[in-house]
Amino acid sequence: MSFVNFSSILVRTLPRSIHAANQTRQIHRWVAPTLRELKRRREKMGPEAALPRSGHSDWNYNAELFAFGRRLSEQFDAKLLQQAFTHRSFIAQEEQKQAEVGIVQPELGLSDNGELITLGGSLINQYVEAFLLTALPKLPQEGIGAIVGHLTSDASLAHVSSHLGTKDIILAATFPVDQTLLADTIKALVGALQRSSGDERAFLFVRDFICTQLNQQDVNEYWTIERPLDLLKEYCQEKKLGEPEPRSIGLVGKNTLLAAHNVAIYCNKQFVGSGFGEDVDTAIDEAARDALRQLFGTQLNMKPLNFSLGFEEVARNLSRKAASKQA
């Protein structure tokens, strides 16, 4: 290669190298120490306070309410939906603000959701109980009540409410909203939906978002039976199944720390359940629990609950409960 050609190639590539070097040198030496100092100061100050989305400049409350109903594919009455999200503490706070600036009789044009909370709470209890009576027809009322109590607790309802995206739309005096406010909001939503679209849509809402919390769960965990053998005797006597008879059918590790007793329970010479335990009494209790699961239809290998039950299928249990209340 001649000297002339090499010089021309060098002249063409040199500006690119200079430009790349200039780009690298744009990051000054003070940048990294400054960023580290800013990070240290932020960590020293602690996390920032949680701010509601309504504090953003592009917040549109009416659009959020409309989008909420569309996300759930429900037809809410606009006024009832806004009322469902408006708590009494928010109205009291706004009235106090207006009173401080000299407004004698402040008018906000808002209604709190106290009435809807009462209505929705009653409907949720009725719908959940009717669903369980239909899905678990053999389970006694005590077991049904225990599961209903779990599903309608503030913790469970707040979990559902927060995952539906209600916390940013709730109008309350405090933020972030607590567990009670979240639970009350979903109760008010059920009440608003029942008044807007009727009982069937309200039941489907409760079934799809509240009852489905039992999916892949052991329903026996929600009902604590203190004396399973006594309950088994009462149940067998009521159903005329005969007297339960515990029998030892196996023992391993006798006189050791790892002893395991296997006890079976028979009614009228028919096997109904078995269980293991470190001593005979524990094995009898476990066998009684297993027998109760078999009799109640809540055995460990039970079929999944039918979450496709319609309003017509549970209406009989709803009417039965209403009739018992009137009686």
**pLDDT for 141-197, tens place per residue?**
999 999 999 999 999 999 999 999 998 899 988 888 899 999 999 999 999 999 999
What 64-72 contacts at long range (C-beta under 8 Å, 24+ apart), as own/partner pairs, is 64/168, 64/169, 65/169, 68/165, 68/166, 68/169, 71/165, 72/164, 72/205
Look over the chain and give the mean of its residue pLDDT values, rounded to a whole number: 87
What 258-267 contacts at long range (C-beta under 8 Å, 24+ apart), as own/partner pairs, is 263/287, 265/232, 265/290, 265/291, 267/236, 267/241, 267/242, 267/243
Sign of CA pseudo-dihedral 179, 181, 183, 186? negative
Where does the pLDDT of residue 38 fall: very low under 50, low under 70, confident under 90, or very high at 90 and above? very high
Q: CATH number of the domain at 61-215, please?
A: 1.10.1520.10
Torsion angles phi and psi, residue 247, rounded to 5? -135, 135
Q: How far apart are CA 121 and CA 297, in angstroms?
A: 28
Residue 205: burial class (beta carbons within 10 Å; 0-12, 13-18, 19+) = buried
Question: 183: left (phi > 0), else alpha (psi -120 to 50), else beta?
Answer: alpha
CATH 1.10.1520.10 residue ranges for the chain: 61-215
Structure confidence by residue, pLDDT tens digits, 238-256: 989 889 999 999 999 888 8
Where does the pLDDT of residue 320 fall: very low under 50, low under 70, confident under 90, or very high at 90 and above? low
CATH 3.30.160.20 residue ranges for the chain: 226-296
Which of 17-21, 37-41, 127-131, 218-222 bottoms out in mean pLDDT, i.e. has the lowest?
17-21
Cβ 154 vs Cβ 180: under 8 Å: yes
Global pTM reads 0.80
Task: Judge whether residue 4 has pLDDT over 50.
Answer: no
What is the gyration radius of the CA atoms in the chain, in angstroms?
Answer: 33
**Which three-class secondary structure state does DSSP give residue 242?**
coil
User: pLDDT value at position 128?
Assistant: 95
Torsion angles phi and psi, residue 210, rounded to 5? -110, -50
Where does the pLDDT of residue 27 fall: very low under 50, low under 70, confident under 90, or very high at 90 and above? confident
Give the pairing type, strands 260-267 and 244-252. antiparallel
Cβ 209 vs Cβ 187: under 8 Å: no
User: pLDDT value at position 137?
Assistant: 92
Q: CATH number of the domain at 226-296, please?
A: 3.30.160.20
Structure confidence by residue, pLDDT tens digits, 71-101: 999 999 999 999 999 999 988 888 888 888 7
